[in-house]
Chains A and B, each alone.
Chain A
Amino acid sequence: MPDKDPTPRRRIWPLRIWDWFWSPTGVISAGFLLIAGFLGGIIFWGGFHWSLELTNTEEFCTSCHTMETNLAEYRETIHYNNHSGVRAICSDCHVPHEWQYKMKAKIMAVKDVYHEVLGTISTPEKYEERRLEMAAAVWKKMKASDSRECRNCHAFEYMDFTIQETRAAENHQRALDENMTCIDCHQGIAHDLAPGYLEEYQHVVDELAGAGALSQDETDLASVRTYLDSTGN
């Protein structure tokens, strides 16, 4: 009868790494592990946050070919150039400040890379075909969040209606009284509007109301329509 092989069979390398990872260390103290883990955590978190902030820059957002149209339109607006010298870049309007919503926005933005690769809006014709659909997706998020990203900079409470244009002051006061939100009127504030946008906006509001995401007074778009009709926006 042959003797048993005294040396155990060598496991494949991923399993050896797994075993090493879970083996108790015999040469490092708990204090060393704690301090090293703490420092490693800071470095990892700093690096993660730094990388995340890099994805918030205008250069990053517009580095894809498909974002050129958006960029050109945005550069014609007051959010890009104005008398005060304050600029709102892409992430100021499209990325929430609150951590969990920021993470959500970043994860959802993966679809932009997917469509860049697919070439979904790679030509001006394709872009125009999808303009309303893309705008509606953003309007839906903004309406559902009560224009949260607008309100990171703007607030009705801080507006001095006495130094606003009469039309603006009147409409802001009405918006305040009637529980309206920024996007109800300012759909085309940074990008061009597609034909039929008002009907599409109404559809977005109806859809949100159907899902129970809006209160009754938030679904009444009569004020918006009156405002838009009066300004020809």
Chain B
Amino acid sequence: MLSFLDLLGTIGGAILGLPGILGVALGMTTRRWPIAAGMGGLVGLLAPFLLGGSHSTHVPITMTEYGISLLIGVLAGLTGCAIRHKGATV
């Protein structure tokens, strides 16, 4: 139960964090799906490096954290691109 919650929390943290928010924003800058996914994925990949861990401890960031961040970044980029397709003519 706790590990499921842990997974859910990690996904939620990524959606409300840099991969989710910046991913959507970057995705909205293009109409090309692969570029949107790539930009979102890049943010998802960089976010744990930039914001993971903490200032006071040296705990390694887990592969699950990286994986979820990457996945959420890609999905957010694609969501942003879909918003561009639906909501803009340029």
Q: Which residues of B contact A103 (CB under 8 A)?
A: 9, 12-13, 16-17
User: Quick one: which of B15-67 are within 8 Å of A by CB?
Assistant: 16-18, 47, 51-54, 56-59, 62
B54 touches A104 (CB 8 A): no
Chain A binding surface, main DSSP class: helix
Q: Which residue on chain A has the smallest CB distance to residue B5?
A: A108
Binary A-proximity of B1-16 (CB < 8 A = 1, otherwise 0): 1100110111011101
A100 touches B57 (CB 8 A): no
Contact-size category for B: 20 to 34
User: Quick one: which of A85-103 are within 8 Å of B by CB?
Assistant: 96-103
| Total A-B pairs, Cβ < 8 A | 66
Of B8, B9, B18, the most chain A CB neighbours within 10 A belong to B9
How many of chain A's residues have a CB under 8 angstroms from any CB in B? 27
A152 touches B56 (CB 8 A): yes
What is the minimal beta-carbon distance from A139 to any residue of chain B, in angstroms? 12
Known: A99-B51, A100-B51. A145 touches B57 (CB 8 A): yes
What is the minimal beta-carbon distance from B60 to any residue of chain A, in angstroms? 9
A105 interface hit (Cβ, 8 Å): yes
Knowing that A99-B17, A146-B58 are A-B contacts, what are 20 other residue pairs whose CB atoms are under 8 Å apart, sorted by A's residue number?
A: A22-B86, A24-B89, A98-B51, A98-B54, A99-B16, A100-B18, A101-B13, A102-B13, A103-B13, A107-B5, A107-B8, A108-B5, A108-B8, A140-B2, A145-B54, A145-B57, A146-B57, A148-B54, A151-B57, A213-B62
Q: Which residues of A contact B (CB under 8 A)?
A: 22, 24, 96-105, 107-108, 110-111, 137, 140, 144-148, 151-152, 155, 213
A–B pairs, 6, beta carbons within 8 Å: A22-B86, A98-B53, A102-B13, A103-B13, A104-B9, A144-B59
